[in-house]
Structure 1
Amino acid sequence: MQNQRDEAADDSPADLPCLEKLDSPTGSPPTASLSSLMELENCVSNLSLAHEIVVNRDFCFKPQSPPTDSLEGRVTDIVHRAFWDCLQEELSSRPPNYDHAVVLLQEVKTMLQSLLLPAHVRLRSQMDEVLDMELIQQEVNHGALDLHRLAGYVINTMASLCAPVRDPEVRALRELKDPVELLRGIFRVLGLMKTDMVNFTIQSLRPHLLQQAVQYERAKFQQILDKQPASLDNTAAWLQAAASEEASAVRARSDSSGPDSPVHLSATAVLNRAYMCLLHWDPRDQKYPETALMDRARLDALGQQLQMLILEASVLLLTNAQCGGAVFSLRGFVGKLRQSVAALLEGSHTREADLKGALLGLGETVLQQVTDALSGQGGGAEALPRESLDLLKGQISELWKHNNPVRTLIGERVQVFLQAMLQGGPGKRSPEPPAPLRLVSAELAELGTAFGRIVHFNRTVFGPFYAPILRKLLFPPGDAETAEDSR
């Protein structure tokens, strides 16, 4: 078996999202047969899995085991312990009872065979010869079974098939003398090797999946839509809200347009605004667009990163405005300040009360760092007036408000920057960020690139589903043929 990634990324999603709840509304009779619901669920599952493999470069399966402190974990531990204790009693009896051991050897053989590749013809033949279950049963009947000899062959075979990351665990099996512990260890490591094989297969097939991903996902979603025609209701509402926001923004930029004046909207501009809304989605709102559900975890994570960058840029802007170049020009000051901001604000943006307290503490930290930086310059730098320091602390503590003018300004600049990246498309050079964002430009560009990849793939897959919705929203009847393609 070829080598594969030794370790999977820690940010791989633990659970794949579902596109649609399959239960009917409360009080409503079921509208589909059980078989059709199961077929729909399988379709959703396949679509989610294929999408995850394609868009998540670090996607992999991990061995699943229930938490040890959970009811499931305790029950599992009791059942497993009882099984291995029973096997211990059977092998310790005189004469030994090998009934369950033979069954385990058959399972070991089956697991080893599942790890073989088509080219392993000689190894497969050798395995059939050594682990010949009829011969093993005859040895049991005549009291001639050598369990350690068979286990030794199994371990040697595992060593030849496993990925390098499993070498230490396979070597540890050779140190086990107790037959029960030996069999138990073999099953544990074989389970890990099967997971490795699945992940190796996924990585091998991934280039081929990438070539077919758009057509596959589009066809699968069409199957879902055929079975559940309401599967685009939330998507239509999402695009309609974005169209209304875009119309208001166009009127605000035009002095001559009244509140009821007709405006001509670009389908691309509406769709880009709709994607931007996903970065600021209210987690309590359950009407998430169906076409973006598979990327919701990624988009939510990007949205949280974005809020952190906005707060960080706001603090840096306020500190620079009050302290001026005298402090920001000092070597290492900006880097140290950014580390403090990131550390103190991490996770606080999810709750307003937490953010308020974090910003209050951050104000104290910023003042201390400014004072220390100036005092470290000796007599060459003048201390800032107490009024300026108190004003800076107050301004930082007020950033918890969503309508704070500095936070609003930074948020608007960030939105313009990300929209410019979306308009540029994938593979194009990132636009130059405005002055207030220069200090976080690298992180913002990285976030924008990740966001752009998600948007580009989503637009490519679901463009044919968005087009008729956008035509209906943006063009009166009879003019639909003039609608621009949203893809």
Structure 2
Amino acid sequence: MPNQRDKATDDSPSDLPCLEKLDSPTGSPPTVSLSSLMELENCVSNLNLAHEIVLNKDFCFKPRSPPTDSLEGRVTEIVHRAFWDSLQEQLNNDPPNYSHAVILLQEVKTILQSLLLPAHVRLRSQLDEVLDMELIQQEVDHGALDLHRLAGYIISTMASLCAPVRDPAVRALRDLRDPVELLREIFHVLGLMKTDMVNFTIQSLRPHLVQQAVQYERAKFQQILDKQPASLDDTTAWLQAAASEEAAAATARSESPSPDSRGPVSATAVLNRAYMSLLHWDGHGQKYPETVLMDRARLDALGQRLQMLVLEASVLLLTNAQCGGAVFSLQGFVGKLRQSVTVLLEGSHTREADLKGALLGLGETVLQLVTQAVSGHEGATLPQESQDLLKGQISELWKHNNPVRTLIGQLSKRGLIQRLIEAQMGVWFRKCRVIKTTPSKLCEFYFDKEISA
């Protein structure tokens, strides 16, 4: 976050709350009540949910069903089977016992009412009339309850309220005759309809949530700070580390005779360095900053894609250096080579051991492609010494400090990696008002580094 006291870079809105770090109390921590902890947890959960809805256009709720082979799945199956077996036993009694069935009908009525829109005045009135619980209880007392008649009305109402994707499931309910199975499937389909309604509501409210997201997140952050003044310690450490690195870089530039030397450290430069460090976060014992914790999955995925592009570009550069421009000028060779590199390296960069093995196999594949390309165009065969050198250079790319790999990362200022960051970051980075810059400036900062001899 930019320094609000720096008037030269202060372009934050007037409603931005004060997020300055408060002095942490010394000695024993104060006792926090359970209600305060629960309230804080709800605040964080709501903030995370709103943030995900705003940034993820594909966000939706899905019906939760535990795996059948898990302990939770087995326990859930046993409990549900016991419940419906109990209902079956009650209905098979002579006379039938409808006590649980009446409770289930009340729950069905409540769910159907929750699916009604304000314009469904007539349907709401009809629902209250048909599923009048007092009348149903009187029918039970006199042995005149007709479950199939009520189920038929419930299914018809569900058919008028459900999304088109649920039409086959609702139609299948009409073929059921056993009352227990019918009620069980009705509840199942109603659960799907509730999920559909929630997702529809989210899609409808998303434009309004986007407009209010910044103010809402600021208010929630301030609420968290009021309850836990030390809740931004990791963010403070993250920014302090970036400030130290930027100060050291500025000092080196000022001592250099290069015309690219710059002035004092600015808050924007510190913020740029801090956010770009998240693309290759290793921590070094430092915890992830709280202000971007909700976006860690996105940043990690983007950082992994960045590493993959650097590896791909490094392999192409080494191949071009050993094989010469004649091979690379052949039609379709570069595209075929890059496709093979992408497939062989996919997912291997997450573990060092996997990357080593993938690069060893990749060297063989690259040589095969080069040999095929040369033989197909009657070119000179690559000398054995060059082949061995190319395989060795490719296998050494697993090292993070590999000179070629470092060079590609530093010289990609206007290349493939910048376009990736523009495409991937631009969608959601610009929405985060905490960041006072653009993806282009972030890329320019990150890749605008001097290359040491």
Indicate the TM-score class for this superposition, using the shorter chain for normalisation. 0.7 to 0.9
SS at match of 1:229: coil
- CA shift for structure 1 position 285: 4.2
Are 1:35 and 2:35 counterparts? yes
- Count of aligned positions: 410
Assess, with a 3 A threshold, how the Cα gap between structure 1 residues 318 and 82 changes in structure 2: closer, same or farther: same
CA contact (8 A) 1:113 1:124 kept: yes
* Distance of 1:283 and 1:90 partners within structure 2: 61
Letter of the structure 1 residue corresponding to residue 142 of structure 2: H
Q: Deviations over 1:248-302 (max 9, x none)?
A: 3333444448xxx996112111111110001111167451111111111111111
Letter of the structure 1 residue corresponding to residue 37 of structure 2: L
CA contact (8 A) 2:253 2:262 kept: no
- CA shift for structure 1 position 340: 2.1
Assess, with a 3 A threshold, how the Cα gap between structure 1 residues 86 and 264 changes in structure 2: closer, same or farther: same
CA contact (8 A) 2:115 2:197 kept: yes
CA contact (8 A) 2:315 2:394 kept: yes
Paired position in structure 2 for 1:476: none
Assess, with a 3 A threshold, how the Cα gap between structure 1 residues 376 and 95 changes in structure 2: closer, same or farther: farther
TM-score when normalising by structure 2: 0.84
Is 403-412 or 32-41 further displaced after alignment? 32-41
Paired position in structure 2 for 1:17: none
Listed as ranges, the matches of 1:350-429 within 5 Å are 350-377=350-377, 379=378, 381-414=379-412, 417=413
Is 444-453 or 210-219 further displaced after alignment? 444-453
* Distance of 1:171 and 1:324 partners within structure 2: 67
Paired position in structure 2 for 1:49: 49
Paired position in structure 2 for 1:62: 62
Percent same amino acid among aligned pairs? Answer: 80
* Distance of 1:340 and 1:231 partners within structure 2: 46
CA contact (8 A) 2:429 2:435 kept: no
Listed as ranges, the matches of 1:271-350 within 5 Å are 271-282=271-282, 285=285, 287-350=287-350
* Distance of 1:447 and 1:462 partners within structure 2: 15
Paired position in structure 2 for 1:457: 431
Paired position in structure 1 for 2:218: 218
CA contact (8 A) 2:250 2:262 kept: no
- CA shift for structure 1 position 408: 0.5
SS at match of 2:430: helix
Assess, with a 3 A threshold, how the Cα gap between structure 1 residues 284 and 168 changes in structure 2: closer, same or farther: farther
Listed as ranges, the matches of 1:30-179 within 5 Å are 30-179=30-179
Letter of the structure 1 residue corresponding to residue 265 of structure 2: L
* Distance of 1:134 and 1:331 partners within structure 2: 81
CA contact (8 A) 1:352 1:400 kept: yes
Q: Deviations over 1:229-256 (max 9, x none)?
A: 1122211211111122222333344444
Assess, with a 3 A threshold, how the Cα gap between structure 1 residues 327 and 161 changes in structure 2: closer, same or farther: farther
Paired position in structure 2 for 1:205: 205
- CA shift for structure 1 position 138: 2.4
* Distance of 2:197 and 2:47 partners within structure 1: 22
CA contact (8 A) 2:254 2:262 kept: no
Letter of the structure 1 residue corresponding to residue 197 of structure 2: M
Letter of the structure 1 residue corresponding to residue 301 of structure 2: A
Assess, with a 3 A threshold, how the Cα gap between structure 1 residues 390 and 462 changes in structure 2: closer, same or farther: closer
Assess, with a 3 A threshold, how the Cα gap between structure 1 residues 65 and 339 changes in structure 2: closer, same or farther: same
* Distance of 1:453 and 1:157 partners within structure 2: 41
Letter of the structure 1 residue corresponding to residue 226 of structure 2: D
- CA shift for structure 1 position 461: 3.7
Paired position in structure 2 for 1:472: none
* Distance of 2:157 and 2:219 partners within structure 1: 42
Letter of the structure 2 residue corresponding to residue 266 of structure 1: S
Are 1:448 and 2:422 counterparts? yes
Q: Deviations over 1:436-475 (max 9, x none)?
A: xxxxx3x7524333324443333x1477xxxxxxxxxxxx
Is 152-161 or 199-208 further displaced after alignment? 152-161
* Distance of 2:219 and 2:435 partners within structure 1: 10
Assess, with a 3 A threshold, how the Cα gap between structure 1 residues 453 and 254 changes in structure 2: closer, same or farther: farther
* Distance of 1:333 and 1:462 partners within structure 2: 41
Is 150-159 or 448-457 further displaced after alignment? 448-457
SS at match of 2:232: helix
- CA shift for structure 1 position 324: 2.9
Letter of the structure 1 residue corresponding to residue 41 of structure 2: E
* Distance of 1:131 and 1:69 partners within structure 2: 39
CA contact (8 A) 1:275 1:455 kept: no
Paired position in structure 2 for 1:243: 243
Letter of the structure 1 residue corresponding to residue 87 of structure 2: L
CA contact (8 A) 2:271 2:435 kept: no
* Distance of 1:272 and 1:201 partners within structure 2: 37
Q: Deviations over 1:5-33 (max 9, x none)?
A: xxxxxxxxxxxxxxxxxxxxxx9555322
Assess, with a 3 A threshold, how the Cα gap between structure 1 residues 288 and 204 changes in structure 2: closer, same or farther: same
* Distance of 2:256 and 2:29 partners within structure 1: 54
* Distance of 1:289 and 1:265 partners within structure 2: 21
Is 29-38 or 388-397 further displaced after alignment? 29-38
* Distance of 1:324 and 1:146 partners within structure 2: 85
CA RMSD of aligned residues (A): 2.5
* Distance of 2:334 and 2:308 partners within structure 1: 17
Assess, with a 3 A threshold, how the Cα gap between structure 1 residues 131 and 446 changes in structure 2: closer, same or farther: farther
* Distance of 2:138 and 2:286 partners within structure 1: 63
Paired position in structure 2 for 1:7: none
Paired position in structure 1 for 2:13: none
